[in-house]
Amino acid sequence: MVIDGCFIIGLLCKVAQVIFIDRDDPIFTMVWLWSKLQKDLLVLENQIPFHVLQCLFDLMTVPGDHDCPSLAHLIFNFFHGHSLKSETATKEDPKIKPRLLLHLFHSSGGTLKIPMFVIHGTTFSFFLNLIAFEQCYNDCTKHFTAYAAFMSCLINSTKDVTILCKRRIIQDLLGNSDGDVAHEFKMLGRDVAISNDGSYFSDIILDVSLYQRTKWDGCKEA
């Protein structure tokens, strides 16, 4: 457990460039290994008690005079795959005492706020035409396409629509069944092409996907 913990701490620090990185390090030269490590570290069976990681991290001596980010910052940095997010985005809640690395993510997915989507007679036809326009012209924004892709990913079943209707995120003025509404959203997002880097939804989609992969019930307080 100690050896595995030291490996994880070293990996997090290398990614954040807190410690020296060997150019020949296979972790950084083999692209497939990077994604495999991210996946393996979030598997429930592979978890190490978080307090073990924290103890090892606290014992670490950082070379140079610069301050080392917190363990939580290093973890978020590693799984987001780019530079550290803003302080407010990764600020630890002092009330949260994570049991596992996985628990840290579970305790921090935040609240996703979605504006109300009102369905009337021409709603889906209107959106389809806007999406078609965005797909035909490269010099315009892709906001409607991004929204359609996001909602299509969010809604996988009739149950999802039922939940969104109860939360008043979707308001259907036509009285359609939840199954019909789910089908219409799937049609909106079908065969749309959008770049994750260019979409204003890209960070949200990444965070939701990560939260969905790490969500588990075993860490909830009884």
With 60 as the cut, is the pLDDT of residue 196 above it?
A: no
Strands (E), 107-200: 117-119, 170-172
> 210: which residues sit within 8 A by CB, 6+ positions away?
79, 105, 109
In contact, 172 and 165? CB cutoff 8 Å: yes
Nearest to 145 by CA among 30, 136, 58: 136
The model's pTM: 0.50
Q: Which residues pair with 117 in a beta bridge?
A: 170
Instruction: Taking residues 123-141, report their average pLDDT.
Output: 86
Burial 190-222 (b: 16+ CB within 10 A, else e): eebebeeeebebeeebebbebeeebeeeebeee
- Which range, of 6-15, 37-46, 96-105, 125-134, averages the lowest pLDDT? 96-105
Provide the token pair at 10: 């070293």
Share of the chain above pLDDT 90, in %: 18
pLDDT at 205: 66
Amino acid at 129: N
* Separation CA 96–CA 76 (nearest Å): 15
With 80 as the cut, is the pLDDT of residue 53 above it?
A: yes
Instruction: Taking residues 103-111, report their average pLDDT.
Output: 70
pLDDT at 77: 81
Residue 160 or 97, more confident: 160
pLDDT at 182: 93
Average model confidence (pLDDT) for the chain? Answer: 78
